[in-house]
């Protein structure tokens, strides 16, 4: 092949390349669909075999916002859980109330109960009033402790219900099982040395004329497996030979029972 023919061939190849470039510039969308790179406008690089490098197809990037899985069932489960928790609150309160009443009933039914019984048959012959303590409950009473005081009370006055710093009797008992009873030291009038004394002539005359009456009051402190308890008692007698009125209702109203520390200690 002559040099002239080689020159003509190069010119034709150059013209073909220019025509191809014009086509690429006119239809970039068609070229993109055909797989050619729209940005590849640089000079062609020769392949070692003499041809051009093949154009790589462009792969579109993955979408950024991928669809999230449906979590509506999870929200529904959370809603039912919250609803059940709210509905369980009244049942929990009801259970606590019922449990408390059951414990309270068991406490009342099974606890120890100390009852004081006074015998007035020996007064005023001996000036003493024997006292017996009975455990009428269903549990043992631990170390009952009793304090009593006898007073000669004016007919128009209630008992003083005061024992501190005044002559009184203080007595303790051993373990008291259900159904057991103990005879306490008889309540009586005592002097400042806690020695039993007789009625004075003035006291005996006031009692006989209805100007005074005799009252015995006191309390018992004890405990069991449910805690501390107390029994408070007051009884009175009139030995008047004529009709008289006495302000003794407060003595009757003073009788009481309770739990915890006695209010009279």
Q: Which residues pair with 96 in a beta bridge?
A: none
The two tokens of residue 211 are 């100007």
pLDDT confidence of residue 36:
44
User: What pLDDT is attached to residue 33?
Assistant: 44
Token pair of 120 as six digits: 């007035």
Number of neighbours of residue 251 by Cβ within 10 angstroms:
22
Which uninterrupted H or E stretch holds 257?
A: strand 256-259
Q: Rounded distance, CA 198 to CA 122, Å?
A: 13
Q: Which of 221, 143, 142, 138 is nearest to 178 (CA)?
A: 138
Q: At residue 179, does pLDDT exceed 60?
A: yes
- CATH code matching the domain that covers 114-259, chosen among 2.60.260, 2.40.170, 3.40.50, 2.60.40: 2.60.40
pLDDT in tens, 58-107: 656 655 655 555 566 666 777 777 777 787 788 678 767 766 555 555 55
pLDDT of residue 177: 86
Handedness of CA 206, 208, 209, 213 (dihedral sign): positive
**3-state SS track over 16-64:** HHHHHHHHHHHCHHHHHHHCCCCCCCCCCCECCCCCECCCCCCCCCCCC
Task: In whole angstroms, give the CA distance from residue 252 to residue 258.
Answer: 16
Contacts of 255 (CB under 8 A, 6+ apart): 232, 233, 234
Cα 254 to the chain's mean position, in Å? 34
**Predicted local confidence at residue 67, as pLDDT:** 57
Q: 132-151, pLDDT tens digit by residue?
A: 999 999 999 998 999 999 99
**Which pLDDT score is estimated for 185?**
81
Higher pLDDT, 234 or 174: 234
Highest mean pLDDT among 122-126, 154-158, 164-168, 177-181: 154-158
Both ends of the chain: CA-CA distance in Å?
140
For 12-71, how does the pLDDT look when each residue is reduced to its tens digit (9 = 90+)?
A: 767 777 776 676 666 554 444 444 444 444 444 444 445 555 555 565 665 565 555 556
DSSP code of residue 141: B
Most confident of 21-25, 155-159, 162-166: 155-159
The CA-atom distances, in angstroms, between 117 and each of 38, 86, 132, 181, 219 are: 118, 55, 5, 10, 12
Q: What is the pLDDT of residue 64?
A: 61
What are the domain boundaries of the chain?
3-33, 114-259
How high is the pLDDT of residue 160? 96
Which residues are bridge partners to 257 per DSSP?
Answer: 231
Residues in the chain: 265
In this predicted model, which residue has the larger pLDDT, 164 or 90?
164
Largest CA distance in the chain: 174
Task: Give per-residue pLDDT as tens, 206-250.
Answer: 999 999 999 999 999 999 999 999 999 999 999 998 899 999 999
């Amino acid at each position: 092949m002559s040099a002239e023919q080689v020159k003509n061939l190069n010119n034709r190849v150059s013209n073909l390349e220019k025509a191809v470039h014009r086509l690429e510039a006119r239809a970039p969308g068609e070229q993109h669909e055909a797989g050619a790179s729209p940005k590849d406008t640089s000079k062609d690089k020769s392949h070692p075999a003499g041809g051009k490098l093949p154009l790589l197809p462009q792969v579109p990037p993955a979408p950024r916002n991928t669809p999230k899985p449906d979590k509506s069932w999870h929200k529904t489960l959370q809603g039912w859980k919250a609803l059940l928790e709210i509905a369980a609150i009244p049942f929990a309160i009801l259970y606590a109330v019922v449990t408390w009443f059951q414990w309270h009933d068991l406490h009342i039914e099974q606890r120890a109960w100390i009852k004081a019984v006074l015998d007035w048959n020996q007064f005023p012959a001996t000036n003493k009033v024997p006292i017996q303590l009975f455990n009428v409950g269903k549990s043992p009473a631990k170390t009952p402790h009793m304090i009593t005081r006898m007073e000669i009370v004016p007919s128009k006055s209630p008992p003083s219900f005061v024992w501190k710093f005044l002559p009184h009797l203080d007595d303790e008992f051993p373990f008291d099982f259900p159904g057991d009873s103990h005879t306490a030291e008889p309540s009586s009038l005592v002097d400042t040395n806690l020695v039993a004394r007789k009625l004075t002539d003035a006291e005996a005359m006031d009692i006989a004329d209805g100007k005074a009456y005799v009252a015995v009051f006191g309390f018992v402190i004890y405990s069991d497996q449910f805690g501390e308890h107390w029994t408070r008692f007051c009884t009175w007698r009139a030995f008047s030979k004529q009709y008289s009125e006495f302000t003794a209702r407060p003595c009757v109203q003073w009788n009481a029972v309770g739990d915890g520390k006695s209010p009279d200690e």
